[in-house]
Amino acid sequence: MKASHIPLLWKDAIVPPFRFNPLLPKEERGKPSFVEIKAKFLPHRNVFAFESLLGLPQDKPPKFLKASKDDKLAAFKEKKANIAASKGNKPKPQPQTKPVKKAQPKTQTKPVQPPTAPHQTQSQ
């Protein structure tokens, strides 16, 4: 499971933003606060903006988590099978194939020429 980090515009926030600084001792580091809010997406700025507060700040993280890629893939396959079954078609078994490695182009190397001796000049 992963955490979600979303850019948010919030003026006059009731809690300060948490910034992790590993150089500070543990006693001086702040603790993150978890706040349940309602936000509105601003497409022209590509960020979310605070709209209203839904709950008080808490020190403990919420219990819900984001689904992993494996969970999403399993749900997608199940949904695809259900759609095929509802149409009356049997789902086609997908052949198990190994990924094909692309051949690396052969590079031609030029022979390295030995360094030439510096030019000698006649001294008088």
Q: Which two tokens stand for residue 93?
A: 């078994």
Q: By C-alpha distance, which of 76, 61, 78 is closest to 2?
A: 61
> What is the pLDDT averaged over residues 25-37?
87
Residues 6 or more apart from 122 whose CB is under 8 A from it? Answer: none
Q: Which two tokens stand for residue 29?
A: 């580091």
Over the stretch 39-98, which tens digit does the pLDDT of each residue have?
999 999 999 999 999 989 998 877 766 677 888 888 899 999 988 888 765 556 666 666
Mean pLDDT score of the chain, rounded to an integer?
Answer: 78
> Which pLDDT does position 67 carry in this prediction?
72
Instruction: Report the SS3 class of residue 123.
Output: coil
**How buried is 23 (Cβ within 10 angstroms: 0-12 exposed, 13-18 middle, 19+ buried)?**
exposed
| Global confidence as pTM | 0.43
